[in-house]
Amino acid sequence: MKNIRNIHLRFTLLLSLGIAVFSSCERDFSDDVKFAAFSNNGDIFTDEPVGLTDEFFDSFDPNEGANPEGFGTDDNVAFMGTSSIRIDVPAPDDPDGGFIGGIFLDRGDGRDLTGFDALTFYVKGSITATIGEVGFGTDFEENKFAVIAQNIRLSTDWRKVIIPIPDPSKLIQERGMFFFSAGTQTTNGFGYTFWIDELRFEKLGTIAQPSPTIFFGQDISTPAVNGIEFVITGISQTFNLASGINQTVSAAPAYFDFSSSDNSVAIVNESGEIVVVGSGNSSITAQLANVRASGSLDITSNGVLPTAPLPMELAENVSAIFSNEYANAVESIFEPNFGGSTTNLQLLSNDDEDALVYTNNNFTGIVFSNTLDGTSRTTLHIDVYPFDESTAVDVQIRDVGANQVLETNTTTGLPDGDDVDRRFLIEGLTPGQWTSIEIPLDGNLAAQRNNLGALILAGGPNFIFDNIYFFTE
């Protein structure tokens, strides 16, 4: 029989953390200062929750599809003792939500986990499904020391799961005891049940061979100008377990110590956020618990971005897409997130002039929120700043068909059909300076420009655009 209890819904992302306040008074002699100690109890759930909030399951937001109804305890199933946590994973069409997930929070101000090296628990499923994510350190606030392991395979027998702690010395006051998220991606949409028991932090002493990575272990090079920002991604830590299995977890940036080889070129903070501040070269690297992480970002900056040429067309002859000199004729989506796109886009402000910085572009688009009637326009203008000689940007002008669908394949960036007249290759430009490009609206577009819907940008891969507008010569 399933006993539903201790359920608490999380409708906001804010929790109030208790703050310990210390007072002192003057003394004639110096005393040793004793700071408040946090609980070092590693148990989270044995036969009942240990040191957790009374309603210890905080569900993800039901407004985002989370199902809060499938969590409870089961007095008939246990690995050890008399009770276990029972989680019923819903089908995608369940009216209460199509997936289940949430966190367990410590009842007090947090726990001192520096004496442990792993989160462990026993788990079994009603079928051989896969739990999407499990971990700890998520507290619905900073999530500063979050750790996530993906694709935990279930058996119909009890199995022990080990989630290594990347650097226990960081966890002197942690509230996020457990995190999980599960759906039916591996069961063809069929719901299932899994049970968790003996959930705790342990000191195993068999967590070995740490291998941290940033940028998925790749050494990446990128051009830049002052003001461009990057975020360190692909952050993980891999350990070898006693079983011989290598367990990889995604680790929050706060576990790492990031560094820049030249802070006059680029600076990086503890959150892995990089800002380019000067010309030259800088390499961004990292360590985790004094182990050098594989992967790096090599930045070559041209310094201050020159201002793009000042447009000279009269406003009445212009239908602007992106320019500080003209009012937009239509609002646009500059990051359409096409499937398969590797593009990074940033809006860069320079002396009150904005520019669109594209790095690692394979294909992306500027999709108009409403169609644009360009019947009276004869030319598309774009100012282009290439980072290097290899820059070659394929600009594809799209109209919206009679079915009101953008006529492009948004998984490849290519047009549907052989619409070569809609494509214009920008190449042969001088690196490090602006060039004004003008593309005539002729060929097929001459009869289709009354219903323009997007610009598709393929190739590059690194360039800057400004002053994008249609005009009449």
> Which domain, by its residues, includes 227?
213-301
Quote the pLDDT of residue 326. Answer: 96
Whole-structure pTM value = 0.82
In the prediction, which pLDDT does 408 show?
A: 57
Do 40 and 189 share a structural domain? Answer: yes
- In this prediction, residue 15 carries a pLDDT of 26
- Asked if 154 and 129 touch (Cβ cutoff 8 Å), the reply is yes
Domain boundary among 278, 301, 324: 301
DSSP annotation of 60:
P
Which of 339, 335, 459 has the alpha carbon at shortest distance from 411? Answer: 339
pLDDT per residue as tens, the chain (473 positions) = 333 333 333 332 222 223 233 333 333 434 454 455 899 999 999 999 999 988 899 999 999 999 999 999 999 999 999 999 999 999 999 999 999 999 999 999 999 999 999 999 999 999 999 999 999 999 999 999 999 999 999 999 999 999 999 999 999 999 999 999 999 999 999 999 999 999 999 999 999 999 999 999 999 999 999 999 999 999 999 999 999 999 999 999 999 999 999 999 999 999 999 999 999 999 999 999 999 999 999 999 999 999 999 999 999 999 999 999 999 999 999 999 888 899 999 999 977 789 999 999 999 999 999 999 999 999 999 999 999 999 999 998 888 765 555 555 555 555 555 444 467 899 999 999 999 999 998 877 777 788 898 999 999 999 999 999 999 98
- 448 belongs to a structural domain: yes
My answer on whether 107 and 36 are in the same domain is yes
Domain final position from 247, 277, 301: 301
- Report the C-alpha gap between 228 and 277 in whole angstroms: 8
**178 is a domain residue:** yes
**Distance (Å) of CA 203 to CA 28, 36, 40, 119, 145:** 43, 23, 12, 9, 18
Do 408 and 464 fall into the same domain? yes
Q: Say whether both 123 and 254 belong to one domain.
A: no
- Domain with residue 464: its CATH number is 2.60.120.430
Looking at the structure of the chain, the number of domains it has is: 3
CA distance 185 to 289: 35
Q: Can you tell me the distance from the alpha carbon of 402 to that of 324, in angstroms, rounded to the nearest whole number?
A: 32
Is 287 in the same domain as 399?
no
Does residue 306 belong to any structural domain of this protein? no
Quickly list DSSP for 201-228: EE--S--EEEEEESGGG-EEEEEE-TT-
- pLDDT at position 160 is 98
**C-alpha to C-alpha distance for 166 and 213, rounded to whole angstroms:** 11
Q: Which residues lie below 8 Å from residue 30, measured CB to CB, with a gap of 6+?
A: none
Domain membership of residue 68 (yes or no) is yes
**The pLDDT of residue 32:** 52
Q: Which one of 301, 336, 352 terminates a domain?
A: 301
Examine the domain organization and report whether 233 and 273 are in the same domain.
yes
Q: Are 295 and 346 contained in the same domain?
A: no
320 and 297 inside one domain: no
| 434 occurs within a structural domain | yes
HEC secondary structure over 390-451:
CCEEEEEEEEECCCCCECECCCCCCECCCCHHHEEEECCCCCCCCEEEEEECCHHHHHCHHH
Q: Are 427 and 467 within one domain? A: yes
Tell me if 158 is assigned to some domain.
yes
Do 129 and 198 lie in one domain? The reply is yes
CATH at residue 252: 2.60.40.1080
Query: Residue 136: what pLDDT?
Result: 98
Residues 12 and 61 placed together within one structural domain of the fold: yes
pLDDT value, residue 37: 80
Q: Domain for residue 309, yes or no?
A: no
Helix or strand or coil: residue 63?
helix
Residues 427 and 465 both lie in one domain: yes
Q: Is residue 308 domain-resident?
A: no
